[in-house]
Amino acid sequence: MSKFSIFKELWYFLKKRKRFWLAPIIMVLVLLSMLVIFAQTSAVAPFIYTLF
């Protein structure tokens, strides 16, 4: 099973069902989760917290 199979299946679902409006929502959720993960394990965390 491929490492990116979930992304392939998600893209197929979006393409087949014409649900392209879900793509920006998914991207924002992924970016926010990456920011949270980066903020927990980095020395830059105090600077990221001041943004909010």
Which letter does DSSP use for residue 3 in this model? Answer: T
- pLDDT for res 43: 72
CA distances to 24, 32, 44, 46, 47 from 50, rounded to whole Å, are: 25, 15, 10, 7, 5
Q: Which stretches within the chain are classed as H helix?
A: 5-17, 22-40, 45-49
Condensed to tens digits (0 to 9), the pLDDT of residues 12-44 reads: 888 888 888 888 888 899 888 887 777 777 676
Condensed to tens digits (0 to 9), the pLDDT of residues 9-18 reads: 888 888 888 8
pTM of the model: 0.55
Residue 52: pLDDT band with limits 50, 70, 90: low
